[in-house]
Each structure stands twice: as structure tokens, then as C-alpha cells.
Amino acid sequence: MAFSSPSLLFLGLLVSLCLSSGIALEEKIGYGYHLVSLEESTLHGGFLVGYLKMIKSTSKYGPDIPNLRLFVKHENQYRLRVHITDADSPRWEVPYNLLPRAQPPPLTKTPKISSHFSLPTYPGSNLIFTFQPDPFSFAVIRKSTGEIIFNTSGFDFVFKDQYIQISTQLPETASLYGLGETTQPGGIRLRPNDPYTLYTTDASAINLNTDLYRVPPSIHGFEKQWWKSVGAWGFVA
């Protein structure tokens, strides 16, 4: 994971570095997906179910998952869950009885194909889910301020058997903590242009420049105006 500028945070497990102009670029890791189906259900407080189809496959970092299922659920007023998984084969997840959460409906082999999509509104939520169908990207907007707090547009979304890449943008003024943090002389706050890994070590946090004994699966952006702060939690099995 790396920061390419103060406003860009790359959340992929690996980072592809572009070569300077004049040198042939390496094969892309992935080309993203397009949305082929999106339906709303009113069960259990309402949710969205969509299906994504791969635009073009690549062999870099392993085989792509060609079809994905999208599940979007407003869990409460301030929390939105976006769940994306293999649409063709069930994959292991943390058991729902160990970490209670809304469970997506069973996978279907014949999603309803559509070329026109609309989004319902959820009056009780302060978060708005929006998307672009081709290539697929999504954003989360804070309704009370109109601020975009999560936005994957402009970046390649990659979903392979053992590699996932999803990126977002964060404001330059945010102080970032969480994913990849280590014990540094200046503190554990994440800094632009510093590389971070997801490795851990069984060592005391008093040792500088070492990995910590855990990797928090979340990223937090704190602002001086606390109501503008934002957090994203990655739940990957």
C-alpha cells in the first residue's frame, strides 16, 4: 500500500507502479467490471443486489473472478455496508453467528439483465450510495453535508482469486490511522508517500520502525471538525 499524493489512498494488497513515459508499460492488473443487473428488495429494512461482469481478463497476479455479486445494505443511520463476492461459487466468510450482520440473499445463477438502473432512497440514513455502471464504480455521500466520503471512480477495481484492489480518495486535511500503521519516530499516523505493508510481528510497540503485532482492518480519517471524520472497515476473508 502506498500514497501517491496527499489526497489518494490505495487500498490494494499490492501496488502496481507505472513506469516513466517512453518505457513500455507492464500488463494491467485488471480492467474492471460493468454492472449488468441491479434490483431492490424491501425485506429486512431494504437492500440492493447487483451483478457485475468482468470487462477483460488478465493473468497478472492470478485468475480473475469473471462474475461478481454486489450487496448494499444501510445497517443504521451512519453505517453502510458494501459486500462484493464471487457470483458463481460460494466463498468462505467469517461465520455470521460469530459476527452478527445482515446476510446477503443466496446466489442466483440467472440474474435479471438490465441496461437501466435507478437507486432508491433511504430516508433514515445519512449516507447515500451512488454508482457508475460501466466501468463499475461507487461512491458514498454524507447526506447532511453533501461530502463524498468514499469514491472508487477513476481507479481500476480488481477482484482475483487471491488479490483484491479497490481504491478511494481522501481529503488532504485528513489525519489517517489504521491499515498498515507502524511504530515510527513521528507517531503511527499514516503519512503521504511513505510505503506501508500489511505484515505483523510479535514485538513490543516500543520498538521503532517495526511492524505492529496486529493489522487493523480499517482506515480512519480524522478532521479538526470532528463531524467530517470518516472510517472504512475492510472485511475480507
Q: Is residue 96 part of a domain?
A: yes
The model's pTM is 0.76
What is the predicted pLDDT for the residue at 187?
Answer: 77
What is the distance between the terminal CA atoms of the chain, rounded to a whole angstrom? 18
Strands lying side by side in the sheet with 3-5: 3-5, 8-10, 167-169
List helix spans (H) across 112-215.
none
Q: Is residue 212 part of a domain?
A: no
SS3 45: helix
How would you classify residue 66: left for phi > 0, otherwise alpha for psi between -120 and 50, otherwise beta? alpha
Q: Is residue 99 part of a domain?
A: yes
Read off the pLDDT of residues 197-226 as tens digits, 9 standing for 90 and up.
777 787 777 777 777 777 777 777 777 766
Q: Is residue 120 part of a domain?
A: yes
Structural domain count of the chain: 1
How many Å apart are CA 168 and CA 148, to the nearest integer? 10
* Most trustworthy range by pLDDT among 109-113, 122-126, 137-141, 208-212: 137-141
> Whose CA is closest to 212, among 163, 178, 175, 174?
178
Q: Is residue 127 part of a domain?
A: yes
Distances (CA, A) of 52 to 67, 141, 159: 6, 22, 11
Q: Averaged over 176-200, what is the pLDDT?
A: 78
Q: Is residue 180 part of a domain?
A: no
> Residue 42 carries which DSSP code?
-
Per-residue pLDDT band for 64 (boundaries 50, 70, 90) equals very high
Which residues constitute the domain of residue 25? 3-172
CATH of the domain at 55: 2.60.40.1760
Residue 99, all three cell numbers: 459476527
Contact 69, 54 (CB under 8 A): no
Strands 147-151 and 136-142: antiparallel
